[in-house]
Amino acid sequence: MDEYSQITEFGKVLIFLIIGTIFVCATFFANKILSLKKPNPEKNSSYECGEEVYSNSWIQFNSRFYVIALVFLLFDVEMIFIFPWATIFSNNELIALDGRWGWLTFIEMLIFISILLLGLVYVWRKKDLLWIKPENLSPKVDTKIPLDAYAVINEQTYLTKSISHSEVITKNIETVQPELVSEKPKFVPRFKKISS
């Protein structure tokens, strides 16, 4: 006589999730009870990869850091897809059934890697992989005004009138009492009854 399990596969997953949640909560609870509570400025300071904090963390970062991180993540995740392909491509039984299967998987991977390399070439051509900050170049605009005219304007000295504090006219600003605002609403919606 065959014995059947009383728990379905979903029930097993549910039990696994419940036991995992209990273990995580028990670990947090044990940490709360057993940990020492002696805060000091060293413990309360922010910690980032063992580096000493030397300024405020609200500073502008170069966007290249994020681009490099995203490119790394992209290639790192895409490399995960190569491992299942390698296990299937190395399966001799599957290739023995149909010889075209080996060529198909090989061509698929060539297309996949060529798309990745195309993305790498694109990022490389945009110079997003360079760590050195590029030089800021002043924009050049085609205009009919010769550059000598700008040079003449910039070299001229202009006379300005000096202003002393006695010449500045100050006015006493009277404080105005705000008027009381009535509490009546300015717009009252009116609904028409539809006669049937």
Domain coordinates of the chain in residue numbers? 9-52+61-126
pLDDT at 1: 52
> Where does the pLDDT of residue 2 fall: very low under 50, low under 70, confident under 90, or very high at 90 and above?
low
54 or 185: which carries more pLDDT confidence? 54
Q: Which percentage of the chain shows pLDDT scores above 70?
A: 73
> Where does the pLDDT of residue 20 fall: very low under 50, low under 70, confident under 90, or very high at 90 and above?
very high
pLDDT in tens, 93-143: 877 888 787 788 888 889 988 988 898 898 888 877 777 666 777 777 777
What backbone torsions phi and psi does residue 51 show, to the nearest 5 degrees? -90, 145
- SS3 of the chain: CCCCCCCCHHHHHHHHHHHHHHHHHHHHHHHHHHCCCCCCHHHHCCCECCECCCCCCCCCCCHHHHHHHHHHHHHHHHHHCHHHHHHHHCCHHHHHHCCHHHHHHHHHHHHHHHHHHHHHHHHHHCCCCCCCCCCCCCCCCCCCCCHHHHHHHHHCCCCCCCCCCCCCCCCCCCCCCCCCCCCCCCCCCCCCCCCC
Residue 168, pLDDT > 60, answer no
Q: In the predicted model, what is the mean pLDDT of residues 74-103? A: 81
Residue 22, pLDDT > 80, answer yes
How many CA atoms are closer than 13 Å to the CA of 15, on its beta-carbon side? 6
> Where does the pLDDT of residue 57 fall: very low under 50, low under 70, confident under 90, or very high at 90 and above?
low
Q: In the predicted model, what is the mean pLDDT of residues 33-43? A: 83
Classify domain 9-52+61-126 by CATH architecture. Answer: Up-down Bundle (1.20)
Q: Which percentage of the chain shows pLDDT scores above 90?
A: 14
120 token code pair: 């790498």
* Of residues 134, 123, 115, the one with CA closest to residue 72: 123
30 token code pair: 């044990």
> Where does the pLDDT of residue 25 fall: very low under 50, low under 70, confident under 90, or very high at 90 and above?
very high
Across the chain, mean pLDDT equals 78
